[in-house]
Amino acid sequence: GKPDKITVGVIAIEDVAPIYLGKAKGLFSKRNIDMTLQVGSGGSASISGVVSGQFQFAFANITSLLIARDKGLPLKVLANGNASTGVTGKDFGAVVVKADSPIKTPRDLAGHTVSVNNLKNILDTTIRASTRKDGGDSAKIKFVELAFPDAPAAVLNGRVDAAGVVEPFLTIALNQGARAVSWCLVDTAPNLTIAAYFTREQTVKGNPDLVKRFTDAINESLAYARAHPDEAREILKTYTKIPADVISKITLPAWPNDLNRASIDTLAQLAKQDGLIAKPADLAALLP
């Protein structure tokens, strides 16, 4: 029959390189899926797009999905999105400070202003966790919201004391003389699952064949990107504005096929501890 036309909500960041690569390699079309990728501003936009029916599927970070599920939104995770590399000093996200900053370790962030792209989300959650793990008082961190592209300059000119950033802004900041003081994703849990592809429960129940084909295509895309990192870097030129010389230097996230359920449970416990969700997360309802 005719291909199933779907729209998938994504973000213009390196994390979603596998789905762009999978589309380019025909991994969706061979499963009779005609996929349009629509770029949005972040996890909340992806979630509202799925709930409204604008997107059949989308990509969002785990903390956003936990908060949405806590609010009663019937979302279901289908496949992994991306994960931390699990390697201190070689991950795609970190907290950076000026070279001459008195902040040396995660515990030193207490009492300082730290920017993140979205408040009450995965980045400030993991920065708090990293600070606590290092013996610091995470309640004394003042978080402010600042778009990633503005963060490196804000650190260097002293507008903020530190910034939580991800690639390519991590490499950009380090190239400008900043210094990493917290590898917060690594510190939070081993091989932390960062994001996932998801849909509505209604779609899972109403069109299980499409859901299976989409999930299979995502999983094959993840495996392809993992096996062909040079192609993953190359595809970034088609949907991001990252300069080519920076693309060659950035650290790619990990793209495992399996969700790290233990790490998602850690994020759920942190979300409850930090007041992001009102009740303990029902991971059995959220996860496949």
Give the whole-angstrom CA distance, residue 129 versus residue 58.
Answer: 27
Tell me which H or E stretch contains 9.
strand 4-11
pLDDT of residue 42: 78
> How many Cα atoms sit within 13 Å of 115 on the Cβ side?
24
Task: List the structure tokens of 131.
Answer: 């600070």
What is the tens place of the pLDDT at every residue in 94-134? Answer: 999 999 999 999 999 999 999 999 899 999 999 999 999 99
The CA distance from 19 to 21, in Å, is: 5
Residue type, 112: H
Q: Which two tokens stand for residue 55?
A: 């997107």
User: What size, in residues, is the chain?
Assistant: 288
pLDDT for res 41: 74
Q: How many whole angstroms separate alpha carbon 109 and alpha carbon 112?
A: 5
Q: CA 218 to CA 80: how far, in whole Å? A: 8
| Whether the Cβ atoms of residue 148 and residue 74 lie closer than 8 Å to each other | no
Q: What is the pLDDT of residue 214?
A: 98
Strand locations in 55-141 (E): 57-61, 75-83, 93-97, 113-116
Token pair of 14, please? 């390196």
- Indicate the residue type of 203: T
List per-residue pLDDT tens for the chain, 288 residues long.
Answer: 899 999 999 999 999 999 999 999 999 999 999 999 999 877 788 999 999 999 999 999 999 999 999 999 999 999 999 999 999 999 999 999 999 999 999 999 999 999 999 899 999 999 999 999 999 999 999 999 999 999 999 999 999 999 999 999 999 999 999 999 999 999 999 999 999 999 999 999 999 999 999 999 999 999 999 999 999 999 999 999 999 999 999 999 999 999 999 999 999 999 999 999 999 999 999 999
pLDDT tens-digit map of 26-47: 999 999 999 999 998 777 889 9
Residue 1: per-residue pLDDT: 83
